[in-house]
Amino acid sequence: MSNKKNTDSKLQGVSRLITDATLEITDLVESMHRRIVHPPFLPSTPIQNLITDIAGIAYKNIRWTTRVIGSGADKALGLFPSVIGKIKTTDEREAAQSVLNGVIGDYLEKTDNPLKINMHFRFQAKTIPLDTESIKKTFPTSNGQIILMVHGSCMNDTQWTRKEHNHGTALAKECNKTPIYLHYNSGLHISTNGQNLNKLLEQLVLQWPVPIEELVIIAHSMGGLVTRSSVHYGQQQQKSWTKHLKKIIFLGTPHHGATLEQAGNYLDAVLEAVPYAKPFARLGKIRSAGVTDLRYGNLLDEDWLNSDRFKLSGDQRQHIPLPEKIECYNIAGVIGKAIKSGSTQLLGDNMVGLKSALGKHKKTAKDLNFKKENTWIAYENNHVDLLSNPKVYSKIKTWMLL
């Protein structure tokens, strides 16, 4: 029955999302209509104003009808039996929901949409309640050595498994560790997820059934930024979990930002500057706070508070160095071969540029200064290959055993 309620709730979430999207598109079309009828920098005639007034009535009717139908559909979906399970597998549904959260997760959170993902720990795709007895049931032979796997943007915990390989599962077996997977809404601000993870980890270590010997975090892509943010807040607040953290292994983390989001920001500025294209700038501003935080690698609330996150303003974030007394390891992917090529290095793994993934910055004061022996470049690997490449796993395993 609980699964049925959960699915029905998500159907209602889809209904609300469609309703909201229709309203937004109506606003966009009306705005574009105004631009055409009333050309920029030119006075409007009475006829032009009349056309706009008549069209305005039509747009109001569309909005009213959409809200009424949307409200009715939302109630109706709560009464109908679930059919979505017959259409897609659980993994496919979760993957789609994760992408949705990555793209507009902050909006889902703001509107309390049932499709939003609340941060929690999981094992074998099931939630781990944070009390001692539940942890014992989940891990009957748990030990004091924990690996936490933190996924990237638009992804989820099950996607650590790729090509029949899972870094966490393999390390648990070969290194005698207990694997835990984080599942979170990657559309929220990175600092918000960092603070939430800080709180969850404190609960986890306080409820762990045996003394904790070691905590290791393996983080992919945005997950590395969320991890660095959580460590910063945890050490600042002197949380006990940070004392157990011995190692962090980053995989393709955009420490100094992602080129794609930086390009998206320039596109925002161009669309805003062109009068007839200005209404379409709103489409680009649909993307989530989590996505815009990837522009330069924001880690703290101060990096985005009291500022327009879509404004072309350059890197304004505070520099947060790697945490002291914690061994930090870093793997960067490059799609090309091990030859010197500016374009290959710029592309990096197709999502994150090489210098950003290595933590290198043109300003020496902002360079993360990873130890040379703690850094490795995975050539002929794209961003997702880092999750399944045997050589990448071998390097992680070597570092785990140090």
pLDDT digit string (tens) for 197-248? 999 999 999 999 999 999 999 999 999 999 999 999 999 999 999 999 999 9
Distance of CA 253 to the CA centre of its chain: 12
Q: Highest mean pLDDT range out of 18-22, 34-38, 154-158, 262-266?
A: 154-158
Mean of pLDDT values over 306-331: 92
* HEC readout, 287-309: CCHHHHHCCCCCCCHHHCCCCCC
Q: Highest mean pLDDT range out of 28-32, 264-268, 304-308, 369-373?
A: 369-373
pLDDT at 103: 79
Mean of pLDDT values over 174-198: 97
Mean model confidence pLDDT for the chain: 80
* Per-residue pLDDT at 193 exceeds 70: yes
* Per-residue pLDDT at 74 exceeds 90: no
pLDDT at 66: 38
* Burial (0-12, 13-18, 19+ Cβ within 10 Å), 232: buried
Q: Which of 166-175, 266-275, 392-401 has the lowest mean pLDDT?
A: 266-275
User: In the structure, what pLDDT confidence band is assigned to residue 112 with cuts at 50, 70 and 90?
Assistant: confident
pTM: 0.80
User: Which residues have C-beta within 8 Å of that of residue 261, sequence separation ≥ 6?
Assistant: 291, 292, 294, 295
Give the side-chain half-sphere CA count within 13 A for 322: 22
Ordered strands of the 178-183 beta sheet: 126-127, 120-123, 178-183, 145-150, 214-220, 245-251, 327-334, 375-379
High-pLDDT (> 70) share of the chain, %: 69
Q: How far apart are CA 300 and CA 365, in angstroms?
A: 18
pLDDT at 107: 83
pLDDT at 215: 98
The DSSP bridge partners found for residue 217 are 148, 248
Tokens at 133, concatenated: 């007895």
* Per-residue pLDDT at 76 exceeds 90: no
User: Which residues have C-beta within 8 Å of that of residue 242, sequence separation ≥ 6?
Assistant: 231, 234, 235, 323
Q: How far apart are CA 202 and CA 130, in angstroms?
A: 10
Give the chain's largest Cα–Cα span.
79
Q: Which of 55-64, 278-287, 325-334, 377-386 has the lowest mean pLDDT?
A: 55-64
User: Which residues have C-beta within 8 Å of that of residue 315, sequence separation ≥ 6?
Assistant: 256, 257, 296
Tokens at 135, concatenated: 């942890």
Q: How far apart are CA 51 and CA 157, in angstroms?
A: 53
Q: Which of 86-100, 273-287, 363-377 has the lowest mean pLDDT?
A: 273-287
Mean of pLDDT values over 315-323: 95
Which one, of 157, 139, 122, 143, lies nearest residue 214 by Cα? Answer: 143
pLDDT at 398: 98
* Per-residue pLDDT at 129 exceeds 70: yes
* Per-residue pLDDT at 250 exceeds 70: yes
Between 98 and 16, the more confident residue is 98
High-pLDDT (> 90) share of the chain, %: 56
- For β-strands 165-166 and 161-162, DSSP reports them as antiparallel
* Per-residue pLDDT at 45 exceeds 70: no
User: What DSSP character marks residue 321?
Assistant: P
Give the side-chain half-sphere CA count within 13 A for 173: 6
pLDDT tens profile 137-183 = 999 988 999 999 999 998 999 999 999 999 999 999 999 999 999 99
User: In the structure, what pLDDT confidence band is assigned to residue 92 with cuts at 50, 70 and 90?
Assistant: confident
Q: How far apart are CA 209 and CA 131, in angstroms?
A: 9
Q: How far apart are CA 60 and CA 23, in angstroms?
A: 10
The DSSP bridge partners found for residue 145 are 214
Q: Which of 73-82, 111-120, 391-400 has the lowest mean pLDDT?
A: 73-82
Tokens at 145, concatenated: 């050595």
Between 115 and 72, the more confident residue is 115
Helix axes of 2-37 and 46-77: crossing angle, nearest 10 degrees: 180
* Per-residue pLDDT at 64 exceeds 50: no
User: In the structure, what pLDDT confidence band is assigned to residue 100 with cuts at 50, 70 and 90?
Assistant: confident
pLDDT at 302: 97
Q: How far apart are CA 82 and CA 207, in angstroms?
A: 36
- State how far the alpha carbon of 188 is from the alpha carbons of 108, 153, 298, in Å: 9, 10, 12
pLDDT at 38: 45
User: In the structure, what pLDDT confidence band is assigned to residue 108 with cuts at 50, 70 and 90?
Assistant: confident
Rounded to the nearest 10°, the torsion over CA 13, 16, 17, 19 is 160
